[in-house]
Amino acid sequence: MRLETERLILRKPKMDDLDGYAELWGDPEVVQYLSGTTLPRDQVPNAIERMLGHWERHGVGLFSVLRKEDERLVGRVGYLLWDPERWANAMHERLDGDLELEIGWTVVRSLWGNGYATEAALACRDHALGELGRERVISLIAPENTASIRVAEKIGETLERRDVRGEAFTRMTVDLYSLTA
């Protein structure tokens, strides 16, 4: 599974991406609105395995995003599946049935502000509404995460519901952005 944009390649994660993910998840600024805690390098392989497990079970998942010019890992952008009753996600437990498809984005700190998150998210949106045959995509975003809200708006998502509470959001509530084809 692979998507391509003008400047980026989106492909399934590989163990070779370890250095890039250690940089990404080891950065407190990057994880501020995600788990809130940085991930030690020795736990990165597990996290890559989890992303690959999601791809295997569901046929969709999070892509490693690479810059075409030098193959540097820009971040990870792609799909997460959610049970909309409990707001539990398929990265952490086995889920079946009708699941919401989230597009999520994370970029290494030194590359913020270059339009990479938007460019990769647009490719994911188009693929979801096209080949994947989805009619709706969502994004779950902390209300203070201005940059992420801008990305959601730039791909055409609008605020559907504030203050979503669920099993995955122990530290904070999030806002639900969505786009229906």
Ligand X SMILES: CC(C)(COP(=O)(O)OP(=O)(O)OC[C@H]1O[C@@H](n2cnc3c(N)ncnc32)[C@H](O)[C@@H]1OP(=O)(O)O)[C@@H](O)C(=O)NCCC(=O)NCCS
Binding positions for ligand X, rule: CB under 6 A: 30, 33-34, 105-107, 112-118, 141, 145-148, 150-151
Half-sphere exposure at residue 117, Cβ-oriented, CA atoms within 13 angstroms: 20
Pick the closer one to ligand X by CB: 96 or 165.
Answer: 165
> Which two structure tokens, joined as six digits, stand for 175?
């806002």
Closest approach, Cβ 95 to ligand X, in A, equals 20
Task: Count other C-beta atoms under 10 Å from residue 107's C-beta.
Answer: 24
Residue nearer to ligand X on the CB measure, 35 or 96: 35
Q: How deeply is 88 buried, as exposed, middle or buried, from its count of CB atoms within 10 A (0-12, 13-18, 19+)?
A: middle
Q: Minimal distance in Å, beta carbon 55 to ligand X?
A: 20
CB closer to ligand X, 84 vs 115 = 115
Q: How far is the CB of 31 from ligand X (least distance, A)?
A: 7
Give the β-pairing of 73-83 and 88-89. antiparallel
